[in-house]
Copies of this chain bind each other. A is one copy, B any other.
Amino acid sequence: MPKKEPVAEIFESVSDGLKQLYRSKIRPIEEAYKFGEFYSPYMNDSDFDAKPMVLLLGQYSVGKTSFIKYLLGRDFPGAHIGPEPTTDRFIAVMHGQEDKTTPGNALAVSANMPFRGLEMFGNGFLSKFQGAQLDSPLLHHVTLIDTPGVLSGEKQRIGRTYSFTEVCAWFASRADVILLLFDAHKLDISDEFKEAIEALKGHDDKIRVVLNKADAVDSQKLLRIYGALMWSLGKVIKTPECMRVYIGSFWDQPLRGSEWSRQLFEMEMRDLLTDLKNVPKNAAVRKVNELVKRVRLAKAHAYIVGHLKKEMPSYFGAQKAQAKLLANIEEHFLKVHRAHSLPVGDFPDVAKFRAVMEGHDLTKFPKLDTKAIAAMEHVLAHEIPKLMAQFPQEGTVSHSNSAV
């Protein structure tokens, strides 16, 4: 993969822009109305700075670590390649001036790393998590996550000191692309791997499939294997559109096979590299979408709290009044919805909202701050579109992975 791409710069400047907007205009309002307690935690700079992430998953020995080596064009610290299950930990392969490894415990407490959430998996996991830093152009714009191969049966369930599928789900929700690797030479999809794939539910649009070591079998056999793979994946992944599959052999050895099949593999491999190059652009689009969604929720939240606050008595009986308001909360949502023509989709879950608000004193919340609302609307209507103008024209449409 060549050096720093213009798309990587777009990603960085968009991220920086979003970070500024959030920090200066959104977070103060979120804090005033305690948005973080009703929805997801307040965001920090590191949430914006985190590079797009590519997660690699597959059964053992399918060539995950070799694949990363192939992308980087070199070895990375802590990489082990071999025919037996070799990689025994999750490795975040990141950019750094010098080669070094960092233990998982240290990564999970670094404020400037996107791995703090991993603490919840405890030491059983953190001792099997590690950072690998090195200087490689690709890592300027993505972070790669190597993972231990999925084992079968007992070994997977008992041999591991953490829940493999839960950890995968955590990375999947933060990743921009999930590469599922399969070995054409030895295709079998174990129940354990199916479980891991099922844990990716809701992130189907991020999944790309790699049928690796494709040059190790003859073409007719390859067709059969590819067909069997699609047949099985179609059953496990519920979306009607099929995943994009890249057929090739991703390691540092020359391609084998007939000239024709080599040509095909080369096209496929080129397509995959192009797809990965677009990751930062798509990640930027996704970040924008996510922030827009968050700001809309925060706006609706401010309206709701402002409305409830207005309904409270000024002097006595606040507690009783609050209980009554919360008992009829749906009615009040409806009023807010009508008064400000807010989309229903921007309203919170009734039960959750009520539960959180019961732990608070409504009188302590600020009144509806119309200036703050106007500021949010300005962000949505002007400042974010200004950031988006940086995308090249087709870049505003997120990459589709449908095949036909």
Contacts and interface: CB of A to CB of B under 8 A. Distances in A.
Q: In terms of DSSP, what is the predominant structure of the interface of chain A?
A: helix
A261 interface: yes
Contacts of A224: 403-404
Contacts of A243: 231
A242 B258 contact: no
A187 B404 contact: yes
Interface in A200-250: 219-220, 223-235, 240, 242-243, 245, 247
Interface of A: 187, 219-220, 223-235, 240, 242-243, 245, 247, 258-261, 264, 267-268, 403-404
Contacts of A267: 220
A231 B228 contact: no
Given A226-B230, A231-B234, 15 more contacts: A187-B404, A219-B260, A219-B264, A220-B264, A220-B268, A223-B247, A224-B403, A225-B404, A226-B227, A227-B227, A227-B403, A231-B231, A258-B260, A259-B260, A260-B260
A245 B226 CA distance: 11
Contacts of A268: 220
A52 B35 CA distance: 71
Nearest to A235: B234
Contacts of A240: 232, 235
A234 B225 contact: no
A30 B258 CA distance: 62
A404 B220 CA distance: 11
A235 to B, nearest CB: 5
